[in-house]
Structure 1
Amino acid sequence: MCLLLGLLLAGPAAAQPDPLPFAALPGWAEEEHAAALPAFLATCRALTARDPAVPLGGAGPLALRPADLAAACAEAATIPPEDARAFLERRFRPQAVGTGLLTGYYEPVIAGRLAPKPGFAAPLRGLPPWPADEPMPDRAAIEAGALDGLARHLAYVDPVEAFFLQIQGSGRVLLPDGGLLRLLYAGKNGHPYRAIGRVLIERGEIPREAMSMQAIRAWLAAAPADAARALLHANPSYVFFRRDDALRPDQGPPGTLGAPLTPGRSLAVDPAFIPLGVPVWIQARDPLDGAPLRRLVQAQDTGGAIRGAARGDLFWGWGDAAAARAGPMREAVEMILLLPRPEP
């Protein structure tokens, strides 16, 4: 990574006035460029549903519209896999945006029921009707019954699993008969998100260097029920869901852009700085073995905790293996956007 440190600017809206050469991207020659194309094509399909002139995000020279990617999208659908690298280098130019923080997220797969049962008492709620000019109840009030009769109960799960599913924003609920519910983000109560991991660090319960989703789960499992509930209520933000029966099991949930997320290739970004739809070259470390993580990903999603020019959240997929990588991931990252070259 150090090869690029002198080329990158860390300011919140900083960008190099001159593009980088692809040769300056460590690992670019070793990338499986063809493996990155399906996620880009998913971006292109999502862009067809958008007004070509409406901005996708970004600021100043990083701002993009769907029309800016139209030519690259048209060509991407026709190229053979062996020409993927040449296509990317012909159609895009690298633009450094800075060094920042890369975390991970995933789609939980949890057991659930359609009616409350012992061990499955927490409802996953649909979005209730609510006046736009009135504040909604916070998490503690909702779980105490403030929305009873207003918010549809889509499924019932373990309370801790419900909390983490809300943090991830989507999930898969396995039913005892083998059925599968795909639940997607439908909205939230408008209260600010507060990370309970930070609460535990401030209390001295878990050292900062040991903090992870797995460490939080272990603390909750060992704590008395009242203490565990109080910690969950320290985050007043609450997420509502909707069912989607059209998604295939091999598809990830749709991100903010509208494209199904691709494991290891979809990135949540702050659209104030990075436009949705743009390819992004990331340089970080694997959260499990520390090996270099250098790959081309797609800016396809956003998140309430994703703020800043070089702040990203990498989607790892679904299930236990994805959770094992997403949970502890908190790595320094260098981000380089691949901006479309102007048409002749």
Structure 2
Amino acid sequence: MMRRLAAALTLVLGLTPAAWSSDATHTILRWDDLNGWAEDDHGAALDTFLNTCRDMRDPDWAALCRAAKVQTNARAFFELFFRPVMIEDGKRTLFTGYFEPELRGSRYRGGPYQYPLYRLPEEAKDGPWLSRAAIEASGALDGRGLEIAWIDDPVDVFFLQIQGSGRVKLDDGSALRVGYGGKNGHEYRSIGQELVRRGEYEAHQVSAQVIRNWVRRNGEEGRELLQHNPSFVFFREVSKVPWDKGPLGAMNRSITQMRSIAVDPKYVTLGTPVWIEKGGRDPLKRLMIAQDTGSAIKGAQRADIFYGTGTKAGLRAGRIKDGGRMITLMPIQRAYAMAGQI
């Protein structure tokens, strides 16, 4: 019955598969149910929405994008055309943070620059390929001219693969930016959770910096820990993104520091405004735009907050592991349809 209803809604209302999931509940809230809504900078959120709404092909979203371009009151725009909807799948809310790393590298191998960033090989394009451990043990990528750059730290390369994009300052004074180019088809496996399983740390102690330090302290055992994650990410050089803009997200547009989040597109359509109420040591109540995805971002109440570029952003992002709630802003007719009120 739920599948037939989903199909009917898709046909009648033009709902994309990402906007419908039969294992989730949808509850419409009032605007005054959103803690801190009135105090936010809605104009900043609207600017971020405009950066990607032009790429949303569905007619409803295209109409909203046209309306957004002529708005003089951003808060009124969101309140007039959207309704806040709580989407829940029975899992607890989890907010984490991510950032765009800056690495040191060279176009050529030599000296400290021994760890490559690879382009996607042909044989990895059509489905599951070699695991991380198999790639490193077999030398399957050696001598094929797939190297974009050589980096001075293997741990930085690993975390760049998790982040999916980054900037490289080259030894000749120039720089380049790389973006996600594909993967080997293996599911991401958390090495932080593996450290907890081994009894090295308690769950609340694990952060990106803690993992970095452990790997660097433990030599060969540290290298083997990285291989616990079989997923291996390949890159492409991104030359058309201005240096002062954020990296490209899943919508192939620059994402915005502290206004863009990565979500699970099974539950939230990319480009959608999402209100977040993050708890923890550094609480955050803010209207964000869902402009990215991630292999570890699974669930209706799961989001990764983009904290910006560089070391400071990385330190902030690495500390985030907080609860709270996230509320999706949906076009009015869709909101009532999803909540079963039409």
TM-score (norm 2): 0.86
Q: Which residue of the other structure, out of 64, 83, 90, is the alignment partner of 1:72?
A: 64
Which position in structure 2 is the counterpart of 1:40?
Answer: 49
Q: Given the alignment of the two structures, is residue 323 of structure 1 paired with residue 292 of structure 2, yes or no?
A: no
CA distance 1:74–1:197, change in 2 (3 Å): same
Q: Given the alignment of the two structures, is residue 334 of structure 1 paired with residue 325 of structure 2, yes or no?
A: yes
Q: Given the alignment of the two structures, is residue 218 of structure 1 paired with residue 208 of structure 2, yes or no?
A: no
Which position in structure 1 is the counterpart of 2:203?
Answer: 208
- What's the offset of the Cα at 1:178? 2.2
Any conservation in 2 of the 1:127–1:151 contact (CA below 8 Å)? Answer: no
Write the letter of the residue equivalent to 1:91.
Answer: F
Write the letter of the residue equivalent to 1:97.
Answer: I
CA–CA separation in structure 1 for the residues paired with 2:114 and 2:120: 19
Which position in structure 2 is the counterpart of 1:188?
Answer: 183
CA distance 1:109–1:197, change in 2 (3 Å): same
Q: CA RMSD, aligned part only? A: 1.8
Matches within 5 A, 1:224-243: 225-243=219-237
Paired residue secondary structure (2:38): coil
CA–CA separation in structure 1 for the residues paired with 2:126 and 2:36: 51
Tell me, which stretches of 5 or more residues in structure 1 are unaligned? 1-10, 53-65
Write the letter of the residue equivalent to 1:334.
Answer: R
- What's the offset of the Cα at 1:312? 0.9
Q: Which residue of the other structure, out of 288, 292, 302, is the alignment partner of 2:283?
A: 292
Q: Which residue of the other structure, out of 104, 117, 124, is the alignment partner of 1:124?
A: 117
CA–CA separation in structure 1 for the residues paired with 2:60 and 2:307: 28
Q: Given the alignment of the two structures, is residue 108 of structure 1 paired with residue 101 of structure 2, yes or no?
A: yes
- What's the offset of the Cα at 1:192? 1.9
Write the letter of the residue equivalent to 1:255.
Answer: G
TM-score (norm 1): 0.85
Q: Which residue of the other structure, out of 258, 262, 280, is the alignment partner of 2:256?
A: 262
* Overall identity of the aligned pairs, in %: 47
CA–CA separation in structure 2 for the residues paired with 1:238 and 1:341: 41
Aligned residue pairs total: 308
- What's the offset of the Cα at 1:258? 2.3
- What's the offset of the Cα at 1:12? 4.9
- What's the offset of the Cα at 1:110? 0.8
Could you list the runs of 4 or more consecutive aligned residues of structure 1 that deviate by over 3 angstroms after TM superposition?
A: 131-135
CA distance 1:243–1:258, change in 2 (3 Å): same
CA–CA separation in structure 1 for the residues paired with 2:119 and 2:47: 32
Q: Which residue of the other structure, out of 295, 299, 304, is the alignment partner of 2:295?
A: 304
Any conservation in 1 of the 2:100–2:165 contact (CA below 8 Å)? Answer: yes
CA–CA separation in structure 1 for the residues paired with 2:324 and 2:62: 29
- What's the offset of the Cα at 1:124? 0.3
Write the letter of the residue equivalent to 1:90.
Answer: L
CA distance 1:321–1:130, change in 2 (3 Å): same
CA–CA separation in structure 1 for the residues paired with 2:76 and 2:49: 15
CA–CA separation in structure 1 for the residues paired with 2:161 and 2:282: 30
CA–CA separation in structure 2 for the residues paired with 1:329 and 1:151: 38
Q: Given the alignment of the two structures, is residue 277 of structure 1 paired with residue 271 of structure 2, yes or no?
A: yes
Tell me, which stretches of 5 or more residues in structure 2 are unaligned? 1-21, 335-342
